[in-house]
Amino acid sequence: MGLLLSCSKSDNPAPDPCAGTSYNVQYFKSEAIGTSNNGSIIVTFPVGDTISYQLNTGSFQASGTFANLAPGNYVLTVKNQKGCTDTAQVTVFNYGPKYALVKQIITGYCGPCHLNGGVSGGKNFDTDNSIVASWDRIKARAVDNLPSQMPEAPNSPLTAVDKQKITDWVNAGHRQSD
């Protein structure tokens, strides 16, 4: 008969104080527009006086706001009072000034039908690529009303000023950089 060994608690390594800490870091981001490095990242979760924030290898700071950012890829790190960290990858894109206005119009008027996963008429505008690729149909439906007006009720038609913003972007070359 062999000796039965049982594992006592003291045989286990000390519990990791960070085990189970996962913040699912959330943020609001705005893109760099034109040739200025004016992108920004604002952390919306987690927030609080025990959380500090870091962008790439910069120093940790108490504020969750990072402004004047160049376009590019960033690693956002949050750290709590125990030193536990969580990260998120953030890409700040470069928008041309005309595209930035069009993106604003789409975000403001084309949901929910074409945003947040909406695919009315087979079109979803959640990504910049999908907007750029649909430039001709966006102009047709939102500016020229071909074959009929967009957006539909309950939104009113776009104003003449907003229609002109789309036309200007299309005429400039309908790229993300325009």
Please state whether 146 falls in left (phi above 0), alpha (psi between -120 and 50) or beta: beta
Beta strands 32-33 and 94-95 are parallel
Q: Is 138 in the site for ligand HEC (CB under 6 A)?
A: yes
Q: Work out how close the CB of 57 gets to ligand HEC at its nearest, in angstroms, rounded to a whole number.
A: 41
Structure-block tokens of residue 25: 């870091």
142 binds ligand HEC (CB under 6 A): yes
Least separation, in Å, of the C-beta of 144 and ligand HEC? 10
- Binding-site string for ligand HEC from residue 46 to residue 75, where x marks contact by CB under 6 A and - marks none: ------------------------------
Task: State phi, psi for 98 to the nearest 5 degrees.
Answer: -75, -40
- Closer Cβ to ligand HEC, 34 or 121, answer by number: 121
Exactly one of 63, 130, 152, 175 binds ligand HEC (CB under 6 A); that residue is 152
Task: Give CA angle at 36 (34, 39), nearest 5°.
Answer: 95
Q: Which of 98, 113, 165, 176 binds ligand HEC (CB under 6 A)?
A: 113
Count of chain residues binding ligand HEC (CB under 6 A): 18
143 near ligand HEC (CB under 6 A)? no
Binder of ligand HEC out of 74, 109, 135, 169 (CB under 6 A):
109
For residues 73 and 55, the answer to whether their CB atoms sit within 8 Å is no
Any idea what the Cα angle at residue 109 is, between residues 160 and 72, rounded to 5°? 105
